[in-house]
Structure 1
Amino acid sequence: MKLKTLFAIVVLMMAGLSTWATTQNPFARQSISLNGQWSYIIDPYENGFYNYRRQAFDQSDSGAGGYYDNKVPAHPNELIEYDFEHAAVMDVPGDWNSQVPELEFYEGSVWLFKSFEVSPQTDKVYKLYFGAVNYEAHVYCNGKKVGMHKGGFTPFEFDVTDLLVDGDNFVVLKVDNTRHQDEVPTVNTDWWNYGGITRDVLLLDLPKQHVADYVLQLNPQNNREIKGSVTVAGGQAGDKAQVAIPELRINKEVTLDKDGKGSYAVAAKKVKYWSPESPKLYEVQVSYGQDVVQDQIGFRSIVTAGKDILLNGKSIFLKGISIHDENPLIEGRLRSEGDIRMMLQWAKELGCNFVRLAHYPHNEKMVRMAEQMGLMVWAEVPVYWTISWENKETFANAKKQLTDLIERDINRAAVMIWSVGNETPVNAPRLQFMGGLVDHVRGLDDTRLVAAALELETVDGVMSCHDPLAEKIDLISFNEYAGWYSSHALDKLTDIKFSFDQDKPVFISEFGAGAQPGYYSADRVRWSEEYQEDLYINQLKMLEQIDGLRGMTPWILVDFKSPRRPHAVYQNFWNRKGLISDTGKKKKAFAVLQQYYEGK
């Protein structure tokens, strides 16, 4: 193998599972938005990536031949079999499944193209930032490959400083949402596999030496102290950064080490704690020289004590609901802050103080808006059902996605729980995999709880948790569907008993039933709104009997699309467990849960 080709492969592998973080709080930095209309070319055979010998163009000696070249004919007889200039367009952020009718079920490669103008300055660094691209993205700037990223829900960025020219520039992505067994998530999910550039795209304009990352948190060992760190790209040992919180009269000087990072702790005796009732956020400034980053950050503590959950030292019940990153009214991923606010406002109307953002990292803007609205957050990575537990690359992928999520949202006081997965089977390889993720979380962040959505065993009418992973996490957190996937009669649900050996808070991460909106039945049969209503009434009575019940996130706020749900009458590729329909109509069970939360 030629040295140049080997080097290209190594670079590609490093880009796919890179170890560097994205710029903290990118929306507060100077940038050019690359949102808007992007040209696209559907490429199911990947003709724009491989030659007819199935050799990647970008790994050849010349690197030429792929669609990323954006080549145009030099004369009428030159053969070029693609054309971005006259290609169809789609909106970014946005997925192709909901925007292009013939791509509704499409899984494969699509090329996306965007031109832009910039006048790069010699004292600046320019980074292409993507909020999320599902799933595998190969990124090119002005015809040169800058990297590859795997993972459909976490941000990534690449330095393009040396590739930009004064005037017209272009960026091309090959995006592939094909499911694979060894990826995260794997081939089997219960949500729509929306492909495309689903979140914001920015060209960050940064000083060569700039604040790349920062952390501000309440010290879990001393709730009158703020601790954290600052990382400066290009910073030198002995350099000084500043962390200022004017309202608390804090102006802390931070000395950097040889890696440009410095840690600190500072007294904050008069700090007002963030809570759902009072979601207090402080104006924060982090600076290095002339580079200043503004943020709004809250401070709070969250711990468990026996069967209790304590927020700022006081017992709290997590009145929650599960949410997918999907707009039921305009099919597809949530595209705007208006979409996000609609979803969270429905949760507030329901009486929630907590949301489970399932089953993958949601938009950073979702987390920030939840924080502003006083909604606590369960944040999760897509380690879901049938992951390849013994595959080292799969574990590295899951670990990287978890790292990216934590590093992105480390300063969000609303995030109470990091979840390492959902409904995974109990066996030794899975325990090693999931246990490794739990240990990794605790090594990155000691200010939040760690959980997973487990499953229970039912023996002689008694539900219990014998999953050894429950010993490593902070909650007995589980999904149960008594009365829907089980044969329990709804009026007999209160006969079910629960018994747990662990002295931990109990959290119900899912329960629910499907209901076709507008289908009413005097006999209260399955799929009717009355059946869902009755299930909620009896489930809540059943769950209230649990010693140590400290919260729940029923499944789910709104109906969502799923290829697993083909029933032509009741589903038509929608999961109908929502309390709100795909037209925004509240089903009968909405009022049941709303009334229950009013009494908590």
Structure 2
Amino acid sequence: MIDDDHARPVASTQDGTYPRPQLVRAHWVDLTGPWRFTFDDQDQGLRERWWLDWPASDAEIVVPYPPESPASGVGDTTYHHVAWYRRTLSAADRAATGHAPGDRLVLRFGAVDFRCHVWVDGHLVGTHEGGHTPFSFDVTDVLDGDENVVVVRTEDDPHDVSQPRGKQDWREQPHVIWYHRTSGIWQPVWLESVPAVGIDSVHWTVAPDTATVTAELRLTSAPVEPIPVRIALRHGDTHLAEASTTATGADVTAVLTVPALTNGQAYEELLWSPEHPHLVDALIDVGDDRASSYVGLRTAHVARGRFLLNDRPYSVRSVLNQGYWPQSHLAAPSADALRAEAQLIKDLGFNATRVHQKFEDPRFLYWTDRLGLLVWGEAPASFTYSTLSVERTVNEWLAIVHRDFSHPSIVTWVPLNESWGVQHIARVPRMQHYARALVDLTKALDPTRPVVSNDGWEQVDTDIVAIHDYASDPAVVGPRYRDRTAIDAMVAGIGPAGRQLVLSGDVEDAPVMLTEFGGISYDVDAVDDAWGYSAATSPADFADRLGGLLDAVHASEVLAGFCYTQLADTLQETNGLVTADRVPKLPVEQLRAIITGTPRQG
């Protein structure tokens, strides 16, 4: 049995600050905070070797907030394609990682938008492209002396529409549904020490029907000699399973049999759901490396017109979430803010959220795992179709499916939305091939979740028929979704947005969801150029409009779920249920009753 000690963190009850919550080590150093910073509008830093000779600038930025945001201390939203960052690592920083002779020091970044170069002590340790994906560099062999200098050059061209950019505006000022840009370092940076052969990642696959949990480990390198691998699963104080094997290469698979899952009358006590978000702790030893993880025992699939969670029909009540804050833009204001966001969504009566046009910070996914909130994992889109945009989108998508594979809260993948980046998919075959390929590629990597091929309309080979409908009159919305006959007529013809809903694929048994609707603007803060799909004039009017639409949706005999637009006001988009600062526009109890379909009084 694995010898656990108090030095090993318990992953399922961590405090939410560690940037990679599904592979936790006891020692790490947070490198966020003040860094030296300068823009490079003439793009001269490479020629002048700024990684060796920092320019005459004493400006600072607070990492990980993007320079466009007030929280960064810079707050400059004008066009800047290139920026440079500089920070000194001290001997105390290295010591705090628990670094020992023979170990490797790894510098990790949560996300840098869009492209970057990283130097340590004048040595280029690596480059990365992809504005939403994590990366790391082993810096052990380039460290020189007691203090070490990290320099990062970032590049983000706002006019390059082949970059996956989601809701980031290509114009200098936000307009309609697009927001201020988020460039440079915008997720945590940290340093940790790992053994020469350590755990790089872990994927958990759950099969309650066979009472097994499969762990797929990827190591930092192949061991020179075989090394032992031991994995244990625990739920609270109960030991559930353990497996031992030997690593001879960089990839290791271990299958753990969980006897408690063989009791057909009791196994559901272990299953994960929003109502009962049970997490099973995992202890992983590979050679000298000791890490903690967690598993959610649950299944998600579709059949007979329903979304099934743990083999039971589950009605999805979701909210569209832009993941944007006034002070920090796409970056989270703090780790605590991510917990508060997940808790707010649950308090409002939702059991799911669709983080829109953004790969969210993994620390948010930890809280959706722990608190119990389903998540639709959606890609940020490029704004054009080209060989380069396809390559960039696929590369980021692969990295995120890998990063988020084991979060039980993620139950559906959404690689495309509203034909963004494939604007002519209805009549251009290669765009259809691309959408279909994304579905197939996703399922090749992860066969455990349904995939929505193109949320909103013009879908190919989709597992869920996802419809966007911003009609504001309940008398219009209600009949469209009342019964199977009405919905089948839409699916076979033209959808509410004037586009075909399904281009190809068998969707006869696919569940139908109204995955964007509402968008009622109620501008309590008198925002200039306030925008929404319809507008309310008072709290009572807002409640009546919201309640009417939700009543029409709840009355449907067919819909397997819905996603209301949207959680929070975002700049000029004032169609949130709460303000930009997350203050509810109606009493929480009133909103919860409307969202859950509780009969209203009066």
TM-score normalised by L of structure 1: 0.79
The correspondence of residues 35-46 of structure 1 with structure 2, limited to 5 A, is 35-46=32-43
Q: How far did 1:293 drift?
A: 0.6
Range moving further from structure 2, 209-218 or 421-430: 421-430
Report the counterpart of residue 181 of structure 1 in structure 2: 161
Q: Which runs of 5+ in 1 are unaligned?
A: 1-21, 50-56, 58-64, 72-81, 457-466, 484-488, 562-573
Partner of 2:16: none
Work out which of the residue numbers 121, 146, 159 in structure 2 matches 1:142. 121
Would the alpha carbon gap of residues 490 and 278 (structure 1) be closer, same or farther in structure 2, given more than 3 Å must change? Answer: closer
Instruction: Tell me which residue corresponds to 1:219.
Output: 207
SS of the residue corresponding to residue 577 of structure 1 reads coil
Match of 2:559 in 1: 549
For residues 192-231 of structure 1, the aligned pairs below 5 Å read: 192-219=180-207, 222-231=209-218
Where does residue 13 of structure 2 map in the other structure? none
Which residue of 194, 202, 219 maps to 1:232? 219
The one of 97, 116, 134 equivalent to 2:68 is 97
Shift of 1:446: 1.5
2:88 matched residue in structure 1? 115
C-alpha change, 1:288 and 1:518, in structure 2 (3 Å) is closer
Q: Which moved more, 1:399-408 or 1:491-500?
A: 491-500
The residue type equivalent to 1:69 in the other structure is L
1:538 Cα deviation (Å)? 3.3
On the 8 A contact 2:65/2:186 being kept in 1, the answer is: yes
Q: What's 1:267 paired with?
A: 257
Could you say which residue in structure 2 is the equivalent of 1:494? 478
Pairwise mapping of residues 197-346 of structure 1 onto structure 2 (< 5 A)? 197-219=185-207, 222-236=209-223, 238-246=226-234, 247-257=238-248, 259-271=249-261, 272-328=270-326, 333-346=331-344
**Which residue among 139, 144, 150 is the counterpart of 1:171?**
150
Q: Which moved more, 1:315-324 or 1:117-126?
A: 117-126
Number of residue pairs matched by the alignment? 516
Give the Å deviation of 1:369. 0.9
Determine which of 357, 381, 384 is the counterpart of 1:383: 381
The separation in 2 between residues aligned to 1:373 and 1:106, in whole angstroms, is 39
Q: Which residue of 2 aligns with 1:415?
A: 410
Q: Secondary structure at the match of 2:455?
A: strand
Alignment of 1:463-542 (within 5 A): 467-469=458-460, 472-483=461-472, 489=473, 491-496=475-480, 497-499=486-488, 500=491, 502=507, 503-511=509-517, 512-517=519-524, 526=535, 528-529=537-538, 532-542=542-552
- List aligned pairs for 1:9-48, cutoff 5 A: 25=22, 27-28=24-25, 30-48=27-45
Conservation of the 8 A alpha-carbon contact between 1:29 and 1:204: no
C-alpha displacement of 1:101: 5.8
Whole-angstrom CA distance in 2 between matches of 1:548 and 1:223: 32
- 1:83 equivalent to 2:60? Answer no
Q: Distance in 1 between matches of 2:538 and 2:302?
A: 37
- Amino acid aligned to 2:349: G
CA distances 1:17-48 after superposition (whole Å, capped 9, x unpaired): xxxxx989455363222111111111122121
Amino acid at match of 2:549: Q
Q: Which residue of structure 1 aligns with residue 140 of structure 2?
A: 161
Distance 1:204 1:586 in 2: 40
Q: How far apart, in 1, do the equivalents of 2:380 and 2:453 lie?
A: 11
What letter matches 1:401 in structure 2? E
Task: Answer yes or no: is the 8 Å Cα contact 1:24–1:214 preserved in 2.
Answer: no
- Structure 1 residue corresponding to 2:400, chosen from 405, 410, 413: 405
SS for the counterpart of 1:240 is strand
Question: In structure 1, how many angstroms separate the alpha carbons of the residues matched to 2:534 and 2:143?
Answer: 63
Counterparts of 1:589 and 1:473 in 2: how far apart (Å)?
Answer: 37
Distance 1:152 1:70 in 2: 27
Q: Secondary structure at the match of 1:227?
A: strand
2:325 match: secondary structure? coil
Tell me which of the two structures has the higher relative contact order, counting C-alpha pairs closer than 8 angstroms and 6 or more residues apart. 2
* Distance (whole Å) between structure 2 residues aligned to residue 212 and residue 66 of structure 1: 32
For 1:585 and 1:230, the matched residues in 2 are separated by 42
CA separation of 1:165 and 1:478: change in aligned 2, threshold 3 A: farther
CA-based RMSD of the aligned residues comes to: 2.8
1:67 pairs, out of 50, 54, 63, with 50
Question: Residue type matched to 2:389 in 1?
Answer: T
Q: Distance in 1 between matches of 2:20 and 2:355?
A: 23
What is the aligned partner in structure 2 of residue 596 from structure 1? 594
Q: Which of 406-415 and 332-341 deviates more?
A: 332-341
Which is further off, 286-295 or 447-456? 447-456
Residue of structure 2 equivalent to 1:52: none
1:408 CA drift (Å): 1.4
Q: What residue in structure 2 maps to residue 431 of structure 1? A: 432
Supply the distance in 2 between the matched residues of 1:331 and 1:439 (Cα, whole angstroms). 33
Cα distance in 1, alignment partners of residues 432 and 227 from structure 2? 44
Question: Could you list the per-position Cα deviations for residues 450-481 of structure 1 after superposition, in whole angstroms to 9, with x for gaps in the alignment?
Answer: 1245334xxxxxxxxxx341xx2211113221
- Displacement of 1:200: 0.9
Give the direction of change, closer, same or farther, for the CA distance of 1:557–1:32 in structure 2 (3 Å limit).
same
Q: Confirm or deny: 8 A CA contact 2:35 2:86 kept in the other structure.
A: yes
Given that 2:65 and 2:328 are in contact with CA atoms closer than 8 Å, whether structure 1 keeps it comes out as: no
Contact 1:518/1:529, CA 8 A, preserved across alignment: no
Change (3 A) 1:195 1:438: same
Q: C-alpha displacement at 1:554, in angstroms? A: 1.1
Q: Secondary structure at the match of 2:521?
A: coil
Check whether the contact 2:156–2:184 (CA below 8 A) recurs between aligned residues. Answer: yes
- Cα 1:398–1:31, aligned 2, differ >3 Å: closer, same or farther? same
Distance 1:254 1:541, change over 3 A: same
Give the conservation status (yes or no) of the 8 Å contact 1:225–1:268: yes
Partner of 2:41, secondary structure, is coil
- Write out aligned runs for 1:549-568 (5 A): 549-561=559-571
Query: Which stretches in structure 2 are left out of the alignment for 5+ residues?
Result: 1-18, 171-176, 262-269, 481-485, 493-506, 528-532
Deviation at 1:129, TM superposition (A): 0.5
**Contact 2:453–2:459 at 8 Å: present in 1 too?**
no
Q: Is the 8 A contact 1:529 1:587 kept in 2?
A: no
SS in 1 for 2:535: coil
SS in 2 for 1:584: coil
Q: For the structure 1 residues 287 and 593, does the alpha-carbon distance in structure 2 shift closer, same or farther, using more than 3 Å as the test?
A: same
Partner AA of 2:463 in structure 1 = D
1:591 shift after superposition: 6.3
Q: Is the 8 A contact 1:39 1:90 kept in 2?
A: yes
**Residue equivalent to 1:191:** 179
**Cα offset, 1:539, TM superposition:** 2.6
Q: Distance in 2 between matches of 1:554 and 1:286?
A: 40
How far off its partner does 1:498 sit?
A: 3.0
Corresponding residue for 1:13? none
Instruction: Tell me: CA distance 1:529–1:429, structure 2 relative to 1, closer, same or farther (3 Å).
Output: farther
